């Protein structure tokens, strides 16, 4: 077997292998989706390692690039997101070999840490290879329509989403004040590690993403944008979830006004409950509805690449990821 880094010309073979290994459920398996996720990412093209047996692609492992920042300093990281093994080559250690090869290459490229959100089945393997638990991302849940939530839970079926036909996402992504708002974001996250978003990365993440529909709401006047919120409506067995994925604030933002705009959108979408990262911007909805502390966030594991830089990440001591940062897509 030969292990090497993927090239542009390997994309058709990689897409074919993911279809063969994982099927067509959940995420799409197409060259367009692969290019959006792994080639067009503004943080950089993914590191993808391949395993070949003669002329047959038998395994792949993709580490997606992500860039964080703290006190004006950039932190380059990678996140294992996609893996596939040919059905006839299972149980030959291909996953472990590709993961170790990707870790070695990531270290050589100067990436500073690796993180991901494994399920209960895969987490022991990561811990064995040197990952450390950062803990579950705290998720705050606010019940808006508790009676409706109870009814959905008793029926044990997902709600039908109620969405709005609007162009809010495009409006705010093209807002002349967006770039200035992003620059001011650092002032409110002193010593906190947050995603180094740009106008380009937000458009890629929320407008161009092919697997979910996002909305936006904001506060501002004229060319000035004081606050911006990204969210999606996700049907669940407890009703329609109003998932706040990212919040951006300037030092001029009136939090009461921002909370009012969020409440209007929750009512417009007839959402049953609201969720938001408990370490990112949970004060944006505090006091609007009844709150429940829920351990429903994903388990996050981290591993340093080189010097130990993961201490601030553990237990989210200085790391403030949003829900949008850790969503799988």
Over 80: is that where the pLDDT of 163 sits? no
Percent above pLDDT 70 for the chain:
94
Over 70: is that where the pLDDT of 241 sits? yes
- Model pLDDT, residue 294: 65
H helix intervals, the chain: 11-22, 31-38, 94-108, 123-128, 146-155, 168-173, 178-185, 199-202, 255-268, 323-326
pTM: 0.92
Q: Are 57 and 86 in contact (CB under 8 A)?
A: yes
Over 90: is that where the pLDDT of 257 sits? yes
When mean pLDDT is compared across 121-125, 206-210, 226-230, the lowest value belongs to 121-125
- Model pLDDT, residue 311: 82
For residue 292, the 8-state DSSP code is: E
Per-residue pLDDT band for 184 (boundaries 50, 70, 90) equals: confident
Q: Are 59 and 84 in contact (CB under 8 A)?
A: yes
* Domains parsed from the chain with CATH numbers: 2-111 (3.40.630.30), 139-297 (3.40.630.30)
Q: Are 279 and 321 in contact (CB under 8 A)?
A: yes
Q: Which residues of 156-188 are buried (b: 16+ CB within 10 A; e: fewer)?
A: eeebeeeeeeeebbeebbebebbeebbebbeee
Tens-digit pLDDT profile for residues 35-54: 999 999 999 999 999 999 99
Over 70: is that where the pLDDT of 165 sits? no
Per-residue pLDDT band for 121 (boundaries 50, 70, 90) equals: confident
| Distance in angstroms (rounded) separating the CA atoms of residues 192 and 138 | 16
- Model pLDDT, residue 71: 85
Query: What is the helix (H) or strand (E) element at residue 187, kind and residue range?
Result: none
Per-residue pLDDT band for 308 (boundaries 50, 70, 90) equals: low
Pull the structure tokens for residue 71.
């006190």
Q: Which residues contact 21 (CB under 8 A, 6 or more apart)?
A: 84, 85, 86, 87
């Amino acid at each position: 077997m030969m292990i090497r880094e993927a090239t542009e010309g390997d994309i058709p073979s990689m897409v074919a292998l993911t279809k063969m290994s994982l099927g067509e459920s959940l995420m799409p398996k197409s060259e367009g989706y692969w290019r959006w996720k792994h080639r067009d990412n503004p943080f950089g093209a993914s590191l993808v390692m391949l395993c070949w047996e003669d002329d047959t692609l038998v395994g792949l492992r993709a580490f997606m690039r992500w860039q964080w920042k703290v006190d004006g300093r950039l932190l380059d990281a990678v996140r294992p997101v996609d893996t596939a093994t040919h059905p006839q080559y299972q149980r030959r250690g291909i996953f472990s070999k590709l993961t170790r090869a990707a870790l070695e290459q990531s270290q050589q490229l100067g990436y500073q840490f690796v993180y991901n959100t494994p399920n209960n089945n895969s987490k022991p393997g990561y811990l064995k290879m040197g990952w450390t638990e950062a803990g579950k991302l705290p998720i705050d849940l606010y019940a808006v329509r508790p009676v409706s939530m109870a009814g959905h839970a008793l029926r044990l079926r997902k709600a039908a989403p109620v969405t709005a036909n609007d162009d809010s996402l495009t409006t705010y992504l093209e807002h002349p004040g967006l770039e200035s708002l992003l620059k001011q974001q650092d002032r409110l996250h002193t010593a906190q590690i947050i995603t180094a978003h740009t106008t380009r990365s937000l458009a890629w993440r929320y407008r161009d993403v092919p697997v979910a529909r996002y909305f936006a709401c904001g506060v501002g006047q004229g060319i000035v944008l004081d606050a911006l919120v990204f969210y999606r409506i996700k049907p669940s067995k407890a009703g329609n979830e109003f998932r706040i994925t990212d919040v951006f604030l300037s030092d001029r933002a009136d939090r009461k006004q921002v909370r009012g705009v969020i409440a209007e959108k929750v009512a417009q979408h007839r959402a049953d409950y609201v969720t938001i990262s408990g370490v990112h911007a949970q004060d944006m909805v505090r006091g609007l509805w009844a709150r429940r502390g829920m351990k429903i966030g994903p388990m996050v594991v981290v591993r340093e690449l080189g010097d130990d830089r993961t201490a601030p990440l553990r237990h989210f001591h200085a790391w403030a990821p949003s829900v949008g940062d850790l969503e799988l897509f």
